[in-house]
């Protein structure tokens, strides 16, 4: 029999929100750059500390290196690092002025004969690199590297001589895509979402959407992932979902998916938050430090996508 007059049990504390759990994870594991980015996006932080943290990765040649993209180690500036830096500057609305003029000079210095960017320059052979990122002796032009950079520069109304031929390359590349893979499609979307010729971009995006569905490059039913093939060369379980292509509702890729397909993919994204508060990386893990550095980046991207679609985080 219960003791008379015993104090009632205190109410259970409220469950911690996805944002609070992610914040704990970021402070626990992230590099300074991602800590500053998280504060900018979700804690009313200022842009200046983000830019200061990013400067630590900038080389004397105007490009970026020093492991900014965790799968490429070493000090050398690389196009993939530099594209990442532009995404950071775009996120804090600082993608312009002298800082981007320096970037464009670097891009000009590493451009291939057809006016585009390689993904990785041969000097990377001297430094640790993810085994799934080949370092060719004669690197080809890559939509993977060029599309996102050209798209970001157009998005921010940057005008530089480098853009003319690079834009032509992107149009030719996206209009000729036939057999593709998720990361290449994402690069195409990054270009098309900001390409200046909107009717042309919409027409190409419509064709790519049919290609994505025909080639089953998006996992449309997160509850039955075994039914969705993983592209050759990708890690087991490295699926891509509608939100990977349409990171915001105003992306051209949003029209590729029904409301139900998008909603289910966002539900799945929310449930992927792990016990430590961070989101997992789906690509191959090849070194402990690179996985640790990449997860805060993936976590911030997941939070931004959920926020863009109006999903509650608090």
The pLDDT tens digits for 200-221 are 999 999 999 999 999 999 999 9
pTM attached to this predicted model: 0.93
Q: State the Cα–Cα distance between residues 46 and 7, nearest whole angstrom.
A: 47
DSSP secondary structure of 97-109:
HHHHHHHHHHHHH
For residue 8, the model assigns a pLDDT of: 59
If residue 210 lies in a helix (H) or strand (E), which one and from where to where?
helix 198-214
Q: State the Cα–Cα distance between residues 237 and 297, nearest whole angstrom.
A: 19
Tokens of 54: 């990013």
Query: Whose structure tokens read 């508060």?
Result: 277
Tokens of 36: 């500053």
* Rounded percentage of the chain residues whose pLDDT exceeds 90: 92
pLDDT (tens digit per residue) in 256-280: 999 999 999 999 999 999 999 999 9
Q: State the Cα–Cα distance between residues 25 and 299, nearest whole angstrom.
A: 9
Q: State the Cα–Cα distance between residues 96 and 123, nearest whole angstrom.
A: 28
Q: State the Cα–Cα distance between residues 242 and 257, nearest whole angstrom.
A: 7
For residue 15, the model assigns a pLDDT of: 63
160: DSSP letter = -
Q: State the Cα–Cα distance between residues 83 and 186, nearest whole angstrom.
A: 14
pLDDT (tens digit per residue) in 89-135: 999 999 999 999 999 999 999 999 999 999 999 999 999 999 999 99
Other beta carbons within 10 angstroms of residue 179's beta carbon come to 7
pLDDT at 151 over 70: yes
Q: State the Cα–Cα distance between residues 139 and 117, nearest whole angstrom.
A: 9
- Quick check: 212 and 245 in contact, CB under 8 A? yes
- Quick check: 304 and 249 in contact, CB under 8 A? no
- Determine the Cα angle at 249 with ends 243 and 251, to 5°: 80
For residue 13, the model assigns a pLDDT of: 44
Q: State the Cα–Cα distance between residues 235 and 179, nearest whole angstrom.
A: 19
Q: State the Cα–Cα distance between residues 244 and 305, nearest whole angstrom.
A: 9
Q: State the Cα–Cα distance between residues 195 and 173, nearest whole angstrom.
A: 13
Q: For residue 206, report the phi and psi dihedrals to the nearest 5 degrees.
A: -60, -40
pLDDT at 1 over 70: no
pLDDT at 31 over 90: yes
More confident residue, 223 or 9: 223
Q: State the Cα–Cα distance between residues 192 and 214, nearest whole angstrom.
A: 20
pLDDT at 3 over 70: no
196: DSSP letter = S
For residue 227, the model assigns a pLDDT of: 86
pLDDT (tens digit per residue) in 231-261: 998 999 999 999 999 999 999 999 999 999 9
């Amino acid at each position: 029999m219960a003791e008379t007059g015993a104090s009632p049990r205190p109410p259970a504390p409220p469950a911690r929100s996805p944002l609070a759990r992610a914040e704990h994870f970021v402070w626990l594991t992230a590099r300074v750059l991602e800590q500053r980015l998280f504060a900018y996006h979700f804690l009313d932080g200022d842009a200046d500390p983000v830019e200061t943290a990013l400067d630590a990765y900038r080389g004397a040649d105007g490009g970026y290196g020093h492991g900014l993209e965790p799968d490429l180690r070493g000090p050398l500036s690389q196009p993939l690092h530099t594209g990442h830096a532009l995404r950071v500057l775009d996120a804090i609305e600082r993608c312009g002025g002298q800082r981007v003029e320096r970037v464009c000079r670097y891009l000009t210095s590493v451009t291939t004969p057809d006016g585009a960017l390689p993904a990785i320059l041969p000097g990377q052979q001297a430094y640790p690199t993810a085994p799934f990122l080949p370092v060719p002796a004669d690197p080809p032009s890559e939509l993977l590297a060029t599309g996102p950079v050209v798209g970001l520069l157009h998005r921010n109304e940057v005008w530089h001589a480098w853009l003319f031929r690079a834009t032509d390359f992107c149009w030719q590349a996206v209009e000729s895509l036939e057999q593709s893979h998720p990361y290449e499609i994402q690069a195409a979307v990054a270009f098309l979402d900001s390409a200046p010729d909107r009717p042309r971009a919409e027409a190409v995006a419509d064709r790519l959407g049919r290609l994505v569905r025909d080639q089953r490059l998006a996992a449309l039913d997160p509850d039955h992932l075994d039914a969705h093939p993983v592209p050759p060369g990708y890690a087991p379980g490295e699926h891509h979902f509608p939100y990977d292509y349409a990171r915001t509702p105003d992306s051209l890729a949003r029209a590729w998916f029904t409301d139900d397909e998008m909603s289910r993919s966002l539900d799945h994204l929310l449930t992927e938050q792990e016990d430590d508060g961070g989101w997992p990386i789906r690509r191959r893990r090849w070194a402990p430090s690179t996985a640790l550095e990449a997860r805060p980046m993936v976590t911030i991207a997941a939070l931004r996508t959920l926020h863009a679609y109006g999903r509650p985080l608090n």
